[in-house]
Structure 1
Amino acid sequence: MSAALQLQDNREQIYARLKPKSMMSPNHEWLACMMASWCAGQGVLPDTMGLESGQFNALTNRLFPGSSIPDHAPSGSKLDFSRMLEKDDLVNLLKHFSKPDIIEIDWIIGVIVAGSLGSDHLWQDLGLWSRSQLSAMLQYNFPELAAKNDKDMKWKKFIYKQLCEAEGLYLCRVPSCEVCIDYPKCYGSEE
């Protein structure tokens, strides 16, 4: 059995143990997928999935009570800490667009911000199992922000583009994305 297949089996086995018996919100499902991937050493999330220790303990106690979940990243961190400078900006952007009254929103934001420091597609860095899961999670938690991505730009590029625009920075010299030579890097399949 290949190592990749073994990791996938471990992720699915872990997920089966974490899967919510009664879902509190759709976030419970997505957090279970990310937690299972993280425990199996997939994705790039660091220790405590990028959350503060107290947040991580609250998340595991509330959503996965009785589960023995490590607080250290099994795979070790593969994050690009040179991009840590925009962490607060990412948190503020996501908080600004977050739907009110979602209990898990701070956990979701913390995990997304940590995953944004990875170098792969955001859904892969988070340990989600598909881009459609990420799209659904963003649409649920940040509906106004997700609605702005009406051309289906890759999510990490889109979020960083929103950061730049919020600061009044327009780095692209091309008047339209459709004529840019980097179009396939920003738009197109992530699967």
Structure 2
Amino acid sequence: MFAHHYVCLSAGQWPPIDVETGFDQHVLACVLSRALEEVEAGEATATEATGLSRAELRDVLTRCFPVAPVKAFAIDELADPEPDMEEQLLRDLLLAYARPGNKTSARLAKIIARRAMRNDHLWQDLGLFDRAELSRLLATHFPLLAAGNTKNMKWKKYFYRKLCEAEGFSLCTTPSCRECTDFESCFGTEEGESRLARIRNGMELP
């Protein structure tokens, strides 16, 4: 499994992620690990967990992870995901800012929009190790969108603020963030334990 592969590596043995393509593969491995957790728990299918179509998911697995346990995702039995209105709006926002002609950016837009519907911090929903990895991901594949978050707002809050601005209304009625009584909701820290760390801490390693 993706998760087992990751947690069985010591800190000095992580796959190199300095090169952009290597980092993209790391992100996709994290997302697929989360998807596989949900599949095995009966919470979602692989397409429901990732927001990708069957064809897109198969292509990601065969191109990026040729030795991955493809059968575990039961792709042949799946239906393509159908985003609801909220997810579609977020997907459209991300696609509008995605790197032109970049297939990975377009697929990450779908993945991020789907995972943003979950309840944790977005970096946790994606299975990443921390918020810094999410910020790097967004700066790489959605540079103009990421650059607009100059106040370090929580990413989910920032996305919804951008959606509201596009519709011509404000997310809240407070005249400025400094006067808001719910400041931490938008700008508080996004700390916590990554899901892979939770697995590692609960796993008896060989």
TM over 0.5, shorter chain = yes
- Does residue 117 of the first structure (1) align with residue 104 of the second (2)? no
2:4 counterpart residue number: 10
Q: Would the aligned equivalents of 2:35 and 2:46 in 1 still touch at CA under 8 Å?
A: no
2:58 counterpart residue number: 57
* Structure 2 alignment gaps of length 5 or more: 75-81, 192-206
Q: Would the aligned equivalents of 2:30 and 2:126 in 1 still touch at CA under 8 Å?
A: no
Q: Would the aligned equivalents of 1:15 and 1:36 in 2 still touch at CA under 8 Å?
A: no
Classify the secondary structure of the residue corresponding to 2:137. helix
Residue 151 of structure 1, CA deviation: 0.5
Residue 19 of structure 1, CA deviation: 5.2
Classify the secondary structure of the residue corresponding to 2:24. helix
1:30 counterpart residue number: 27
* Structure 1 alignment gaps of length 5 or more: 1-8, 73-80
Distance in 2 separating the partners of 1:123 and 1:64 = 22
- Does residue 163 of the first structure (1) align with residue 157 of the second (2)? no
Residue 45 of structure 1, CA deviation: 7.2
Q: Would the aligned equivalents of 1:118 and 1:125 in 2 still touch at CA under 8 Å?
A: yes
Classify the secondary structure of the residue corresponding to 2:84. helix
Distance in 2 separating the partners of 1:123 and 1:94 = 16
1:40-51 correspondence runs (5 A): 40-41=37-38, 47-48=46-47, 49-51=50-52
Residue 101 of structure 1, CA deviation: 3.4
Q: Would the aligned equivalents of 1:98 and 1:105 in 2 still touch at CA under 8 Å?
A: yes
Residue 35 of structure 1, CA deviation: 1.8
Q: Deviations over 1:25-54 (max 9, x none)?
A: 531221122223433459x87523221111
- Does residue 174 of the first structure (1) align with residue 168 of the second (2)? no
Q: Structure 1 pair 45/183, CA: closer, same or farther in 2 (3 Å)?
A: farther
- Does residue 128 of the first structure (1) align with residue 119 of the second (2)? no
Q: Structure 1 pair 149/93, CA: closer, same or farther in 2 (3 Å)?
A: same
1:39 counterpart residue number: 36
Q: Using structure 2 for the length normalisation, give the TM-score.
A: 0.73
Residue correspondences, number: 175
1:71 counterpart residue number: 73
Distance in 1 separating the partners of 2:175 and 2:5 = 44
Q: Would the aligned equivalents of 1:177 and 1:183 in 2 still touch at CA under 8 Å?
A: yes
1:139 counterpart residue number: 139
Residue 144 of structure 1, CA deviation: 0.5
Residue 178 of structure 1, CA deviation: 1.5
Q: Would the aligned equivalents of 1:19 and 1:32 in 2 still touch at CA under 8 Å?
A: no
Residue 127 of structure 1, CA deviation: 1.3
Q: Give RMSD over aligned pairs.
A: 3.2
Percent identity between the aligned chains? 34
Distance in 2 separating the partners of 1:24 and 1:85 = 32
Q: Would the aligned equivalents of 2:152 and 2:187 in 1 still touch at CA under 8 Å?
A: yes
